[in-house]
Structure 1
Amino acid sequence: MTIQFFGYPKCSSCNKASKWLKDNDIDFTYHHIVEEPPTKELVKEIIEKTDIELKKLFNTSGTKYRELQLKEKLPKMTEAEQIETLVSDGMLVKRPLVFDGKHLTLGFKEEEFEQIWSNN
């Protein structure tokens, strides 16, 4: 699987992350996270292949997350409901989300990108 990069043009972390990948000659497919959010199938694959907790995929510092009061609501939802909520609006997704079918990074930490994406 090609590296899938879900980002937002006005997000500084997304811009730093995509620049890092380009500067290191790492190919990826860019998805505008609002226009083309991750699908339910992709979210399920990420959870299955990386063992990440679903709640870590949410942008908990985002305005939309707070507006929808998801801090209170998510614990009461089933996993299917949480996934449905997550994919309903790209602004709910932690970004940048970078996934290649095996590896996942959320946000941008240069050391983490170096460790995970330089070796693939």
Structure 2
Amino acid sequence: MTTIMYGIPNCDTIKKAQKWLNENNIPFSFHDYRKDGLDEQLLAQMYTTSNWDQLLNKRSTSYRALTDQQKETLDENTVSPLFIEFPTLIKRPVVVHQGVAIVGFNIKNYQQFFAV
């Protein structure tokens, strides 16, 4: 089964994760939210392996730009259209490997996840 990394290419965390995968000879394809799109179907797939609150990047500029009311009423139904409109609200990267996802980048977590 293939490994897919989801994110945006100019993200420093994406670059670190890509470098780690390459150095550990883990082949992957890259899905650029802006270029390749993010729709309800892809989001539904992500929800099968991660909860919406695990995906939410509260440190992003996009999150800080939300109104207080939007932040207070976030749930799976309200955040999904925001994820699609503002993909930078999703933590990066999301890597799906053998049907399981890991969100964010941490070397120790990646070593355990990929059993390197």
TM-score by length of 2: 0.82
Whether contact under 8 Å (1:4, 1:29) holds in the other structure is yes
Match in the other structure for 2:66: 68
User: What is the root-mean-square deviation of aligned Cα atoms in Å?
Assistant: 2.2
Q: Deviations over 1:62-108 (max 9, x none)?
A: 11111123x64255255233212112222111101111352111111
Counterpart position of 1:28 = 28
Partner amino acid, structure 2, of 1:65 = Y
**Alignment partner of 2:5: what SS?**
strand
Q: Specify every segment of 5 or more residues in structure 2 that has no aligned partner in the other structure, as ranges.
A: none
Aligned equivalent of 1:115: 112
Question: Where does residue 13 of structure 1 map in the other structure?
Answer: 13
Q: Which amino acid aligns with 1:82?
A: V
Q: Tell me by how many angstroms 1:35 deviates.
A: 2.5
Summarize the Cα distance change of 1:100–1:75 in structure 2 as closer, same or farther, 3 Å threshold: farther
1:46 is matched with 46
- Residue pair 2:60, 2:89 contacting (<8 A) in 1 also: yes
TM-score (norm 1): 0.79
Runs of 5+ consecutive residues of structure 1 not aligned to the other structure:
none
C-alpha distance after superposition, 1:9-49 (max 9, x if no partner): 3322111101111111111111223323443222222222x
